[in-house]
Amino acid sequence: MWHPFTQHGLEDRKSKIVRGDGAYLHTADGRRIIDAISSWWVVTHGHCHPPIVRAIQEQAGKLNQIIFAGYTHDAAEEVAARLLRLAPRGLDYVFFSDSGSASVEVALKMALGYWHHSSKQRTRIVVMQHSYHGDTVGAMSVGARGVFNAAYRPLLFDVTSIPFPAKGRERETLNALAATCQNERPAAFIVEPLILGAGGMLMYPAWVLREMKRICEVSDVLFVADEIMTGWGRTGTLFACEQANVTPDIVCYSKGITGGALPLAVTLCRADIFEAHYSTDRTRTFFHSSSYTANPVACAAAKANLELWEDPETRCRTMSIAAMQEQAIEPFRADARFENVRRTGTITALDFKANDAGYLADVGPKLQSLFKDRNLLLRPLGNTIYVMPPYCVTAADLDEIYAGIRDAADALS
């Protein structure tokens, strides 16, 4: 098997997982691993969460797949209705897909289709430095150029990049966005709200997000929010855009939409973006689909997850995790071996001081190996260590996670 984001010439040791429950993964050789990164940021309430498992079982025995072109089903309709109740007001239509990368492709095609069908030649996309939006060609094109996509550069379309709003340099970012919107008349600006995930868990304040949306509004540029990772309580609110009181023109949700149980994604948009494609002219059709669009079993899992998010107790739990995370990471602010110790909502991150930095930092594989020996699922982004646990994690689990981080630093020092 060829594993994702794995250099098999260096990393040949695989752990076989046979069972998951709550915040834990159980291996074939009897070990219990704490899932400190929610299995690549997807598991929210915990592995095999009973209400979601029951919903999957019930749906699988009733309807497990149906073409979604020309047909519909209850699970998809209920998911769409609940999403529109929970999402920022002003989003009116839901388009289903089956991965975060696909939902970004959908968002880009919606934006370009909107301008094309409005008879306006606006095709430029604006992105943020260090961003990551997925691994399909369009998603790679709007991500940072670098090691992730260097081999595929001939496939990528050109974009305009504005700098990341580093602390103290936020105005530089906003000025660059304003100038680009005025001079280039782009079709859309796509951004990860509040936290850039794979780019290094880089965090910026809500007021910057709010100002970026204002600049796009003034310039009539579509504002696309990639909430694939930041959604579902990760940043402390259900969706990150809530903290800036922002309604995107287009938004992408995936990962935790099913609680991490099954692949599903959605792209939500304003009514006028849908209406630009609405016509008796078949050439104006939105030409996008996948075989498993709105798969009924995945939608049943999503419906069960959305029901959990309508319970205030679920949101209280994320607040509790955020407080626990702040308490756990606070001592590292005085640890000279680390820098840029930070937290947004339930996510913490800190940079281990090393001779090199970035995704290919030599210390990255060493850290990952040390964590694996401690039965911790932590997957550093180079020298950046982050903790993004499921919301069933306990204070004792967090103590074990951060003790493992301290021990790894001891070993490497």
What does the domain layout of the chain look like in residue ranges? 17-49+312-412, 52-309
DSSP, residue by residue, 153-213: GGGPPP-EEE----TT-HHHHHHHHHHHHHHH--SEEEE-SSEETTTT-EE--HHHHHHHH
Of the candidates 15, 11, 89, the one whose C-alpha atom is nearest the C-alpha of residue 249 is 89
Burial of 312 (0-12, 13-18, 19+ CB in 10 A): exposed
Predicted confidence (pLDDT) per residue in 38-91, tens digit = 999 999 999 999 999 999 999 999 999 999 999 999 999 999 999 999 999 999
Band (305; pLDDT cuts 50, 70, 90): very high
- Does the domain at 52-309 match CATH 3.40.50.720? Answer given as no
pTM: 0.97
17-49+312-412 and 52-309, same CATH topology: no
Task: Say how far apart CA 226 and CA 317 lie, in whole Å.
Answer: 24
Predicted confidence (pLDDT) per residue in 229-270, tens digit = 999 999 999 999 999 999 999 999 999 999 999 999 999 999
**Across 140-147, average pLDDT:** 95
Band (364; pLDDT cuts 50, 70, 90): very high
Query: What is the three-class DSSP state of 30?
Result: coil
Architecture of domain 17-49+312-412: Alpha-Beta Complex (3.90)
Q: For all residues of the chain together, what is the average pLDDT?
A: 97
What pLDDT score was predicted for residue 46?
98
